[in-house]
Amino acid sequence: MKIIVCIKQVPDTKGGVQFNPDGTLNRAAMLTIMNPDDKAGLEAALRLKDEYGAEVTVLTMGLPKAEDVLREAMAMGADKGILVTDRVLGGADTWATSTTIAGAIRNLEYDLIITGRQAIDGDTAQVGPQIAEHLGLPVISYAQDIKIDGDSVIVKRQYDDGYHMLKAKMPCLITALSELNDPRYMTPGGIFDAVKAEITTWGRANLVDVDDANLGLKGSPTKIARASDKVRKGSGEKVNLDAEESVKYIVDKLKDKHVI
Amino acid sequence: MDFTLSKEHEMARTLFKDFAENEVKPLAQEIDEQHRFPRETVEKMAKYGFLGIPVPKEMGGQGCDPLTYVMCVEELSKVCGTTGVIVSAHTSLCVDPIQTYGTPAQKEKYLPDLASGKKLGAFGLTEPGAGTDAQGQQTKAVLDGDEWVLNGSKCFITNGKEADVYIVIAVTGTVEKRGKKMKEISAFIVDKGTPGFTFGTKENKMGICGSSTYELIFTDCRIPKDALLGQKGKGFNIAMHTLDGGRIGIAAQALGIAEGALETTINYVKERKQFGRSIAQFQNTQFVLADLATKVEAAKLLVYKAAMKKAEFAANPKTSYSVEAAMAKLCAAEVAMEVTTKCVQLHGGYGYIKEYDVERMMRDAKITEIYEGTSEVQRMVISANLLK
């Protein structure tokens, strides 16, 4: 079985977020981590590899330094890493990103593609299903559990009011939730191998069946008006009253604001 | 000279840091209070290869260098000195001598299980009458047909009872050296469960309370003839060489404890308010922290240098790293004691309360000045080299 896992290097939520003048993220200037949903997707793939035997290829699109996230995935147990990087691909929204990734995947053989549900920087949850659409594959989103049954996958899909059990013939695409599993750590020996391993680097020229009009910032229908870091709340109002007066004070405030 | 860590080492540090924060730190206080060996952590470390970091891949290890191993012990010890010493005693004192002195058959028998963490290792040199003075050994091994018969006891053995494989130093006869009769000392590999090998008292210690410290007792304990490690009569050299490596591990433990205490204290002084401002704003706090950070950095350079020197030994067995190991341990252990003591002081009354990590760290730091050669022994090693 051949599994492709799409992963993304995202800003570390513990670090500061920085922006370019055009409103896009200044990824080069930020501390980064592997997107949590993608990491769960990778773990799911590695568990399928442990259980059924599989070759796991991790693929990312980004700046040259996104190579780091591929090496991390390989130190966890992925077999191959592919970096899609090119200046003309920069500033891509979900449409241009999914077009690019689908164009890269057309070079590869696969039974299963796993992506994270969404990245913690953009929170769109669009790229995974769009890749499936470009490649004409069935997609099962929000996977909580994945099992292989012959040439099909059986997926438990999370829903607000419960879960769905879905079966799909491979090849197909699954989007994973970070709740899917606890991703494994790297191993020290895995790190040493991963740093030495060769990463395949592809640019625009390697993308198959894609139109330049659908790539990069120019090919992105989404225009970002403004992006911001989490707005920090003020310190609020502090009062120092005894218990009874405090309750009255809060109730009055809530009434003023028509909450109660 | 380049002080920049390689990509491998940076990634390894991230790994050990994440593991320590998520898996080790949450248990640190509990295992200390309950004097409980963290078996569950050992199993997790085994799963991720932490118990065979410098062992070649073909022997089931991770195939990394001594610096990676040192960084592992350091990061674990930042949050829990107990966990650091479990890895150090296993790797430096049991795996390393088998790797260095074992026959191909011994390596094949022991290294894959030890490196994968399926089995845990320990080392028995110290006796009630033989600590620093290794010639005071009383434990005897007598060859009887195809077996050695061990009699005697060892004390203060780290990983005692929890370990499966023990390197045991014993007297195998007498030899004449420069006209003087000396004990002939040899090293052996002894499996737990061998009839005649039992455990005595569990020590109730000041610090590293989750670590299992036991007395080993040998009563007509028969082990196969081929359980001899290295040549007969070379046990003293094997023990001393093993301790050279062990000292780098303990130096890493001490360094980790010091760094952990400093980090915790930096956070604390920013939050703790007195006279209307954080105590970090007082110049006394700033100067103390500056001095401690400088000493920690100096210790770190010595510890990493010793690890690099040990890596040279792997390429060229004539390389000696005794002095570097002794300097690293002497410095890191004394820095750990000073840093933790001053960090308790900066915490004020709270530093004396068990809820605060620095209280445990100060107790844990003390042993690093004592075991695997006291600070005084390190000074002997260093000065002997200066005055030879």
Would you call B12 an interface residue with chain A, using a CB distance cutoff of 8 Å?
yes
CA–CA separation, B325 and B65 (whole Å) = 16
Q: Closest partner residue to B18 among A71, A75, A185, by Cβ?
A: A185
Beta carbons within 8 Å of B108's beta carbon, 6+ residues apart: none
Look at residue A104 and give its three-state secondary structure: helix
CA–CA separation, B106 and B188 (whole Å) = 11
ipTM of this predicted complex?
Answer: 0.93
The two three-digit tokens of residue A81, written as one number? 């890493």
Flag if B11 and A187 touch (Cβ within 8 Å).
Answer: no
Q: What's the mean pLDDT in B245-251?
A: 98
Q: Calculate helix-pair angle for B283-315, B235-271, nearest 10 degrees.
A: 150
Query: What pTM does this model have?
Result: 0.91
Q: Taking CB atoms and an 8 Å cut-off, how many pairs form between chains A and B? A: 49
Would you call A221 an interface residue with chain B, using a CB distance cutoff of 8 Å?
no
Q: What's the mean pLDDT in B238-255?
A: 97
Q: By CA distance, what is A190's nearest residue in B?
A: B62
| DSSP at A229 | P
Beta carbons within 8 Å of B179's beta carbon, 6+ residues apart: none
Q: What are the C-alpha distances in Å from A29 to residues A19, A63, A85, A204, B355?
A: 9, 11, 17, 24, 38
* Cα end-to-end span (Å), chain A: 59
Flag if A195 and B57 touch (Cβ within 8 Å).
Answer: no
**Over the range B207-242, which residues count as b (16 or more CB within 10 Å of their CB) and which as e?**
bbbbbbbbbbbbeebbbeeebbbbeeebbbebbebb
| A36-90 confidence digits (pLDDT tens) | 999 999 999 999 999 999 999 999 999 999 999 999 999 999 999 999 999 999 9
Quote the mean pLDDT of chain A: 90
CA–CA separation, B169 and B173 (whole Å) = 13
Quote the mean pLDDT of chain B: 96
Q: Closest partner residue to B63 among A71, A185, A192, by Cβ?
A: A192
Whether the per-residue pLDDT at A11 is higher than 90: the answer is no
Q: By CA distance, what is B46's nearest residue in A?
A: A187
| A130-179 confidence digits (pLDDT tens) | 999 999 999 999 998 899 999 999 999 988 888 999 999 999 999 998 88
Residues of A in contact with B7 (CB under 8 A): 71, 195
Flag if B61 and A189 touch (Cβ within 8 Å).
Answer: yes
From A29-33, B60-64, B268-272, B335-339, the region with the lowest mean pLDDT: A29-33
Whether the per-residue pLDDT at A112 is higher than 80: the answer is yes
Query: Tell me, what amino acid is at B79?
Result: V
Give the gyration radius of chain B's Cα atoms. 21
Answer for the pair B137, B130: CB distance below 8 angstroms, yes or no. Answer: yes
User: Residue A172: what pLDDT?
Assistant: 97
